[in-house]
Structure 1
């Protein structure tokens, strides 16, 4: 929901930095995988309840997630880069929640619910992108992407905010996890409704270039 607003703020400095990093010969895939490795460090840090250090790893991962796209815009995007970006994102999101479950046994059930909710948002997001690509739909709602990007109530900005809140208020993990999980299910439902509206007609009656 807030990604569009955030992009207008962070894209100019990220694009400038991406141009410099690309000039050093660094590829977008290198940035993606390095950021993913740094992000995974949050898991053991969370397990030992080192929440400040874990938050730093989470934020560095998200910074790298924005930078890899900026580098790709200067060096040229690739299908492999888009694939690695989305796979690393979803693995990272689940890994962070798993880290909180490792920290305290009482976190296990709300953590499982939150990961379950992430499956809903992830599946509805990727399935829409697959059918949109098959029908030749395109969107620039979140800038240039390797796949169709359908928006929702809980996107990257909201997920970062939730992870930050979890690190700052670990004793409120259950409340935050259940609340954000419910918002994720609202996102999933809204995407299913959009898919029904968009894909209900046969492909030969489609409208290309829509932004549902």
Structure 2
């Protein structure tokens, strides 16, 4: 929900870093992988209860995630392969954080971690499934024209997810409550994406069954 509004303000802040990385001959894919590795470092930090370190790893992961796309555009090297790598590692990182909480305290945090992971599967699958169909039918991407795939919006997107992760690190004792609340918000996203995606693709394909014709 917030991604489209926040992205324009973040891009100018990244330009000096992007220019420096380009000068050092760093590639976008190297930034993507480095950001993923740093993000995964939050997992042992969470398990050990090192909340400040976990917080910093999560923030660094998101900074790297913003840099790789900007660097690709700066170098005119944007590619489907790079976009594929980026989204795969993003989703693995998103899954790793609640998993770490579940491992850290399986008795109290195990169930909410599982529910949140299930919600992430729903939002991720609806997101990626529509992206594949959107590519097939060349559906435009008005809010995110620079993305390598169709970015289907929803109530819970990347920005909201990262804010949730940071909240986990600031108030770990409230992990179950925050996880349940966000899972509920994800459920809204799933329903709206499935409904909206189905309706959009149905209209694009021009499918009208016999019952629809009779009602009209």
The TM-score, its normalising length taken from structure 2, stands at: 0.91
Query: What residue in structure 1 maps to residue 99 of structure 2?
Result: 98
Q: How many residues align?
A: 205
**How do residues 23-34 of structure 1 correspond to structure 2 at under 5 angstroms?**
23-34=23-34
CA RMSD of aligned residues (A): 1.3
> What is the CA–CA distance in structure 1 between the aligned matches of 2:204 and 2:6, rounded to whole Å?
36
* Aligned counterpart, 1:73: 73
Q: In structure 2, what is the Cα distance between the partners aligned to 1:152 and 1:132?
A: 16
Evaluate the alpha carbon distance shift between residue 40 and residue 22 of structure 1 in structure 2; reply closer, same or farther with a 3 A threshold.
Answer: same
Which secondary structure state, in structure 2, belongs to the residue aligned with residue 200 of structure 1? helix
Q: Residue 203 of structure 2 aligns to a residue in which SS? A: coil
Q: How does 1:128-139 map to 2 (within 5 A)?
A: 128-139=130-141
- Distance of 2:197 and 2:104 partners within structure 1: 38
User: 2:55 maps to which residue?
Assistant: 55
Report how far residue 17 of structure 1 moved: 2.3
SS in 1 for 2:146: coil
Q: TM-score, normalised by structure 1?
A: 0.93
Task: State how far apart, in whole Å, the 2-side matches of 1:114 and 1:27 are.
Answer: 33
Residue of structure 2 equivalent to 1:145: 147
Do the aligned partners of residues 202 and 58 (structure 1) sit closer, same or farther apart at CA in structure 2, a change above 3 Å counting?
A: closer
SS in 2 for 1:138: coil
User: Which runs of no fewer than 5 residues in structure 1 stay unpaired?
Assistant: 206-212
Q: 167-176 vs 21-30, which deviates more?
A: 21-30
Answer yes or no: is the 8 Å Cα contact 1:3–1:142 preserved in 2. Answer: no
Distance 2:143 2:192 in 1: 17
Residue 68 of structure 1 and its aligned partner are, at CA, apart by 0.4
When Rg is computed on C-alpha atoms for both structures, the one with the higher figure is 2
Unmatched 5+ residue regions in structure 2? 208-216
